[in-house]
Structure 1
Amino acid sequence: MPGKFHCPKHRSQAVSSTSRPFKVLGVQQIAVGGLDKAKLRRFWVDTLGLTFSHSYTSEKENVDEDICEAGEGPLKVEVDLMQPIDPDKKPRVNEPALNHVGLWIDDLPAAVEWLTAQGVRFTPGGIRPGAAGHDITFIHPKGNEEFPIGSEGVLVELVQAPQEVIDAFATIARAG
C-alpha cells in the first residue's frame, strides 16, 4: 500500500508523545537462546546468580525454556534461557543468541492499534497469552511493503503490564 503512511522514515520525529495512547514502562524480559540450555543456566544462574523460576515448553514455538529472574517484586526482569526442541526446525530460538527483548506496556490493545496505524509490522498471532501468563504480541524485526516499520533486526515482545507493575513504575516516576 504505497502512500498509506506519511514519511515513515521520519515518523518518530512527527509523532508527539502526547498522541501516543500507551507507555513503555520498562524491560519485562530478555530472551537468550542456545543449543543447550544447561550451558545457559551454568552462566546465567550458577555464575551470575539469577534465580530459576520455572520451565516452559511449546512444540508450536519449538522452544524448551527455563525462566529465570533478576531482581524482586513487580520490577523484576525475566531472563528466558531457550533451546530449540528440534534444532532443525523453525523457529530457531537459538538464532540469534539474543532472541528478543520484552517491554512492559501499560495498554497493550491501544499500543497495537496505534502502532499498526503508524505502519508497524507485527508477527502473526496477534495478542495472546504468553509463557508468563501475561498477554503479549511481537513486533517483526523487519518491515515490509504494507507495514514498513519493523524493529530493525531485533524481535520485540510487547507485554501487557499487570496493575502492580503499572503502579510500581508510577511510584518510581513520582519519586524521581
Structure 2
Amino acid sequence: MSRPFEILGLQQIAVGAASKEPLRKLWVDMLGLAPSGHFVSEKENVDEDIVLLGSGPFQVEVDLMQPLDPARSPRVDQPALNHVGLWVDNLALAVEWLTAQGVRFAPGGIRKGASGHDIAFLHPKANEAFPIAGAGVLIELVQAPPEVIAAYRRGV
C-alpha cells in the first residue's frame, strides 16, 4: 500500500486532570520539563499549559490540560491521556488518503492547533461509515514545518 505522506515522529502528548496543578508538579517541578506557553479555548473547554521535552526539531510538546468547566464536554481530563500528536509531512494528503481508506476523523477538519500548526484529529471510535479509527485513542496529525521534515529525513 503506497501512502502519499509520511508520519515523521512524535510531536506531542496531552495529559489532563481536573486541575493542572498536580500535572505541573510532576512534569515541571519533578521531571524538569520547560514551560513554553499557555492556551485557553472556550470551544474546546480547555485551559492548557505547554511544556517542552528535548530541543530542536525533535522537541516533544507535553500539554497539561484541565477543563474550563468540568460540567460540560469535551472533558480534557477523561481519559487522562487525552491524545497523542504525530508529525506528518503533508497533512492535506494524509487526511484525503486516510479518509478514502475508511479512517474516521473527528469533526472540525483541518484547522490551526494551539501551537499554530495545522492539525486534524483521527476519531477514537470507528463507525459503520468509517470502520478504521484510533481504537480508543484520539490521534492528532500535525503538519510538520519544513525544518522538522528536513531533520527527520536527515535523521539528525
TM-score of the superposition, structure 1-length normalised?
A: 0.88
Q: Does 2:74 align with 1:105?
A: no
From 103, 112, 127, the counterpart of 1:120 = 103
Q: Which structure has the larger Rg?
A: 1
| Equivalent in the alignment of 1:86 | 69
CA drift of 1:171 comes to: 1.1
Residue identity in the other structure for 2:38: S
Give the superposed CA RMSD: 0.7
Distance (Å, rounded) in 2 between the aligned partners of 1:51 and 1:66: 11
One-letter amino acid of the counterpart of residue 115, structure 1 = L
In the other structure, the counterpart of 2:43 is: 60
Question: Which residue is 1:150 aligned to?
Answer: 133
Match of 2:24 in 1: 41
1:28 matched to 2:11: yes
Report the 3-state secondary structure (helix = DSSP H, G, I; strand = E; otherwise coil) of the residue aligned with 2:121.
strand
Q: Which runs of 5+ in 2 are unaligned?
A: none
Report the counterpart of residue 140 of structure 1 in structure 2: 123
Q: How many residues align?
A: 156
Question: Residues of 2 paired with 1:32 and 1:111: CA distance?
Answer: 25
- Give the share of equivalent positions with the same residue, in percent: 67
Question: Shift of residue 153 of structure 1?
Answer: 0.3
Letter in 1 for 2:20: K
Q: What amino acid is the match of 2:71? A: D
Query: What code does the residue aligned with 2:93 have?
Result: A
| Unaligned residue ranges in structure 1 (runs of 5+) | 1-15
For 1:61 and 1:160, the matched residues in 2 are separated by: 20
From the two aligned structures, give the one with the greater helix fraction: 1
Where 2:25 maps in the other structure, the secondary structure is helix
Partner of 1:168: 151
Q: Distance in 2 between matches of 1:24 and 1:105?
A: 5
Normalization by structure 2: what TM-score?
A: 0.99
Deviating above 4 A after TM superposition, structure 1's stretches of 4 or more consecutive aligned residues are none
Shift of 1:39: 1.1
Which amino acid in 1 is paired with 2:27? W
The aligned amino acid for 2:150 is D
